[in-house]
A and B are shown apart, each in its own frame.
Chain A
Amino acid sequence: MANGRLRIKDISRPGDDPLVFMNMSELMPVPNLGEEPSIEPTPQKFIDKYEMSLDGHCSIGIPKPKTKEEEDHLVRRFLSGLEKLFNSEESWTFQQALRLSFDYCVKCQTCSEACHAYLASGRQEIYRPTYRAEILRRIWKKYFTPEGKLLGRFVGADVDVNWRTVTRLAELGHRCTLCRRCAQRCPMAVDNALIARELRKLFSQELGIAPMEILEKGCVQHLRVGSSTGLNPPGMLDTVAFMEEDIGDRIGKKVKIPIDKKGADILLIHNAGEFLSWPENPEAFAILFEAAGISWTLSSEPVAYDAVNYGLWNDDVELARVAARHTLAAKKLGCKKVMIGECGHATKAYVVIADRVLTGDLSSSEIQRESCLPLLWEIIRSGAIKFDPSRNNFPVTLHDPCNMVRAMGIVKPQRLALKAIAPQFREMTPNSVYNYCCGGGSGYAIIQSFNFPQWRNKAGARMKMHQTLQAFKNELDPNKVPFKYLCAPCSNCKGTIRDAITHYGLWDKYNLNYGGLVELMVNSMVDIDRPFIEYEDFH
């Protein structure tokens, strides 16, 4: 175990020295990975200005306090937020789940081996699922419980809160992808992912501290402009026009993309990141839905053309605001159902988590909410479209988005679809509900600030790259097998995978590409006379 002697109390240690810094020699070995970029030291300009003393990486960029007053302000607000977190009115949303997870961990560490980040980092103590939870627990005991005040260290009330504790904790809350694999294995049903999520909530809702991409450029921009990508409604209409043209170029046929079509059965909402990074994905949806004769539409209403809901990761208020607008847009159009495109977090946020935010006329009995995967399988199963699997005759493996499998139990549709259209489909290990996170869960896919991408690639996505290389281990040679496809029906997962494949050079080394499920479906449509997937293109 690396850094075995790092203690819980060290979170409050003064000074800029990080508690830990990942070391190349300790990272989890990955067979067939070949040469990989080394870990860059933390740039001094970051150290001078921002909180980098957790692990030399940073996702938020909290400026170091300049005065004692600023330091005290951080501490005060943190403690007041912690108190609110355990207040039934202020924080009813997860109160019961949090309380139970908080009070009854028996510290058996059964959960640790479940965590991809902990394992990939070479078992660095700070990434152990229990590390941040235990810190928070001890702080809570010390400052808010009678037994902590009375018995102190005896009951573990021994972590001091100073500004370093606060800023390090804010970062530490962002070293867990909320994949909940640890919770799945805990014999006590303790959920360290929820504790991490609630810790982030404290920062977001009380101090307004969150990675810029998640709060300010995420939810706030989503609500203000219409999309977290900055795409406004006129921009959305242009995008649709562009996609129609692009579809014509790609398949040699015209497809009309319905937008704001009143009375359509389904309002389809994509992660708007798709429009910018992978327009072929929403285009493939349009091709499939038109060919299958489905009554559907996109919306150009602000918020409702972007399925993301970043409040899922740190903010109940933002979560509720976004979910309500998605539903109101569907109501306005008179749609029966809202379906989320290939995006795991957006699907879980809207279908599961928002289920108890949307009440009365907005509830699921009034407007249904579904993942797209069952419909995609139904299109194949029903024979509504004819597919020729031989067009996808290359090795394909599947990454299950955690939010769809572990958090929603959507396991079979994507497998059945792949088995039907990809003759060389093989599972990675482990898979389905026991999968490993891609490394980009909980917003990490979109955090590009500071040196966070380095952490994401080295600790976050390493396990997924390991699994992928294992799945293709007999076909890695690009001269023998010129194309492999990692299917990830989730926008965030794709973002992470794209960056990780680039970081580790796996496209150059092995022609390992990635993409969604619908692209594979369109690629094998009998009615289309040319490939939809561009085999030479990695983007």
Chain B
Amino acid sequence: MGIPVYLAWLSVVVFIVMVIYRFSKFNSMPLHLRWEIYPLPLEPKHHYGGSYMEELDYVPKPRHHIRINGILDMASEVFLLKKVREYNIYGMWPFSFSMHWGIYLLFVWMILMLAEGVLNLGVIAPVTNVCGIIALIVGTFGSLGLLLKRISNSELANYTVPVDYFNLLFMLSIFATGLISWITTGQYFFDDARAFLAGVVSLQPAAVSSWTVAHFTLFELFLIYMPFSKMLHYIAKYFTIDKVFWDDILNLKGSSIDKKITSQLSGKLTWSAPHIVQGKNWAEQVGIIDGRDIK
């Protein structure tokens, strides 16, 4: 019984370290050329998709971003999966929405249980329990639904590789073991879950039902696995949206962007098409008309 308890600590550490590592990896990639896309929520003219480039002499004019619009836009994606709801023709939204809320609520449930134990907040126990049950029900529904959808729809199946099924099965197994545990042990399930977590906090494993142990162990394994998998897309998505799709910042002489780009332009190229001269840096390449004149 001790392993899941120690694994819990390990999983939290791996999860946090890996998420930070991945975040910093994405963050340290070279500054890219502008590639924004409209409508750009941070833009004051966002409501019709406009930008500062609609104005004459915009370069010296002050420009500003409306951060709150960005936050609201991201929130509508995170919490409502708006684009899937509006544009996905394969009927994935109810399942995807449920699975995502299953995950959010699962985290909330665990945190609430920890808060109850550590901060002596027994009074919120009914809310905690409801949160847990909803998480398990909608999570099971969503992950099972997505799994079946991907298997049964040939257009989706064509693009789904075994690891994608594995990921969904993994999710399903977490939710389903919790759900089974609740169904089979009833009210004791909540006591078990709290006892398990108390055991984790105190490093003194408690005796709980095997379904509950399975549920928590799978969740811990999931925390370890997730940062290595595509399920880390919430971090990647933040970067693509905020740093690529919403990056409309002009390059002005002497700015930090200017300095970064200037240093990136000093990198040498080894592309081997005839019009490029291998071994010359970007700045040198730009001065050449055609690589064939030099070779």
Contact = CB atoms under 8 A, between A and B. Distances in A.
Interface of A: 1, 4-8, 77, 80-81, 84, 88-90, 92-97, 99-101, 103-104, 106-114, 125, 130, 134, 138, 151, 153-156, 158, 180, 183-191, 194, 204-208, 215, 219-220, 223-224, 316-318, 320-321, 324, 337, 351-361, 363-366, 368, 370-371, 373-375, 378, 405-413, 432-434
A355 B35 contact: no
Contacts of A184: 37
B263 to A, nearest CB: 10
Given A317-B282, A356-B261, 16 more contacts: A104-B232, A109-B89, A109-B90, A154-B163, A155-B162, A156-B162, A184-B37, A318-B275, A321-B285, A352-B53, A364-B252, A368-B57, A374-B56, A405-B49, A410-B51, A412-B54
B64 interface: no
B274 A208 contact: yes
A208 B251 contact: no
A89 B30 CA distance: 8
Given A110-B87, A317-B276, A321-B288, A412 B244 contact: no
A317 B265 CA distance: 11
B271 A84 contact: yes
Contact of A97 (B90, B244, B261): B244
B163 A156 contact: yes
Contacts of B118: none
B252 A320 contact: no
Contact of B51 (A103, A204, A409): A409
A108 B88 contact: yes
Contacts of B239: 96, 100
Given A4-B155, A89-B267, A356-B257, A409 B43 contact: yes
A207 to B, nearest CB: 6
Given A84-B270, A104-B230, A409 B53 contact: yes
B233 to A, nearest CB: 4
Given A110-B88, A365-B59, A95 B32 contact: yes
Task: Point out which of B48, B57, B275 has the most chain A C-beta atoms below 10 A from its C-beta.
Answer: B275
B34 A363 contact: no
A194 B51 contact: no
Given A352-B36, A409-B38, A206 B51 contact: no
Nearest to A321: B286
A87 B178 CA distance: 44
A433 B56 contact: no
Binding site secondary structure of chain A? helix
A216 B276 CA distance: 13
B32 to A, nearest CB: 5
Interface string B273-295: 11110000010011011100000
Nearest to A186: B83
A359 B273 contact: no
Nearest to A81: B271
A432 B48 contact: yes
Contact of B32 (A7, A96, A205, A220): A96
Nearest to A184: B37
Interface of B: 26, 29-40, 43, 45, 48-60, 77, 81-84, 87-90, 92, 96, 154-156, 158-164, 166, 230, 232-233, 236-237, 239-241, 243-245, 250-254, 257-258, 261-262, 264-265, 267-276, 282, 285-286, 288-290
B253 A360 contact: yes
A156 B161 contact: yes
A408 B275 contact: no
Nearest to A366: B253
B37 A155 contact: no
A359 B285 contact: no
Contact of A103 (B236, B241, B244, B254): B236
A173 to B, nearest CB: 15
Contacts of B77: 187
A187 B50 contact: no
Given A187-B81, A187-B84, A205 B33 contact: no
B221 to A, nearest CB: 17
Contact of A411 (B34, B50, B268): B50
7 contacts: A97-B244, A205-B271, A318-B275, A320-B286, A365-B253, A374-B53, A409-B51
Task: Point out which of B26, B49, B265 has the most chain A C-beta atoms below 10 A from its C-beta.
Answer: B49
A413 B272 CA distance: 43
Contacts of B261: 356-357, 359
Top 8 closest pairs, chain A to chain B, by CB: A409-B51, A156-B161, A433-B49, A92-B30, A208-B273, A189-B240, A409-B38, A365-B252
Nearest to A360: B253
Given A104-B233, A356-B33, A359-B262, A185 B87 contact: yes
Contacts of A154: 161-163, 166
B56 A378 contact: yes
B159 A107 contact: yes
B289 to A, nearest CB: 5
Contacts of B233: 104, 106, 188
Contacts of A352: 34, 36, 53
B273 A205 contact: yes
Contact of B87 (A113, A365, A370): A113
B25 to A, nearest CB: 9
Contact of B38 (A158, A320, A359, A433): A433
Given A156-B163, A411-B49, A355 B34 contact: yes
B35 A94 contact: yes
Contacts of B43: 409
Contacts of A106: 230, 233
Nearest to A433: B49
Contacts of B269: 90, 317
Contacts of B96: 108
Nearest to A347: B53
Task: Point out which of B45, B156, B271, B276 has the most chain A C-beta atoms below 10 A from its C-beta.
Answer: B271
B289 A321 contact: yes
A356 B251 contact: yes
A206 B243 contact: no
B73 to A, nearest CB: 11
A371 B53 contact: yes
Nearest to B291: A317
Contacts of B52: 409
B56 A359 contact: no
Given A324-B286, A356-B257, A358-B251, A108 B34 contact: no
A200 B244 CA distance: 20
Nearest to B250: A364
A24 to B, nearest CB: 23
A317 B90 contact: no
A92 B33 CA distance: 8
B53 A92 contact: no
Contacts of A351: 53
Contacts of A356: 31-34, 251, 257, 261
